[in-house]
Amino acid sequence: MSLLNDILDFSKVESGKLELDNHPFSLASLMHDVGIILSSATQDKDIEVLYRIAADVPDQLNGDSLRIKQVLLNIIGNAIKFTEHGEVVVSIGVTLCVSDKVILNVQVKDTGIGMTEQQQAIIFSGFHQAESSISRRFGGTGLGLAISKRLVNLMGGTIQVKSRPDVG
């Protein structure tokens, strides 16, 4: 079912038919949900997931909470998937706060396997995964980060990756 949803979402975004919903939501509540959903992914691993929200980040925000949650689940879930031990740290801060517009900066740092420059160059491409030995070991559709990039762009944001092999 997840693969089908990923393909449908990717298709909607690519064709310009995905519309964002704009409604008030609680960031703390959304992050709590993300933490609960991802907690099962860490049970068999020697990792700690830390969530840090800066004091100046307003709890009440307006936006498409479903799509924001989807992006966070994809990015944080990916970090957890490729981290065998150590930690995944999610930090949320304010980049800009003018009138009723808030731009957040979300950083996800991990102690995972890391990526080469070549892998980083294509990480947000649809249907792409790492080399076959890594994809067999860690699984996945190769669509989560591609969808996330397109959703973030649709919301007026940017997404990037910085990594080094064996560092995270």
- Residue 89: give the domain boundaries: 2-154
In a domain, residue 64? The reply is yes
CATH of the domain at 40: 3.30.565.10
Asked if the structure places residue 163 within a domain, the reply is no
**pLDDT of 106-145, one tens digit each?**
999 999 999 989 888 888 886 555 554 454 455 555 688 8
**pLDDT of 84 strictly over 50:** yes
Of residues 68, 73, 71, 7, the one with CA closest to residue 41? 73
Query: Is 160 within the bounds of a domain?
Result: no
Task: Please tell me the total count of domains within the chain.
Answer: 1
pLDDT for res 61? 96
In a domain, 93, yes or no: yes
159 vs 148: CA distance, rounded Å:
8
Amino acid at 161: V
The answer to pTM > 0.75 is: yes
Give pLDDT, residue 132. 46
Q: How confident is the model at residue 6 (pLDDT cuts 50, 70, 90)?
A: low
Asked which of 32-41, 69-78, 102-111, 125-134 is least confident by mean pLDDT, the reply is 125-134
Are residues 9 and 147 in contact, defined by beta-carbon separation less than 8 angstroms?
A: yes
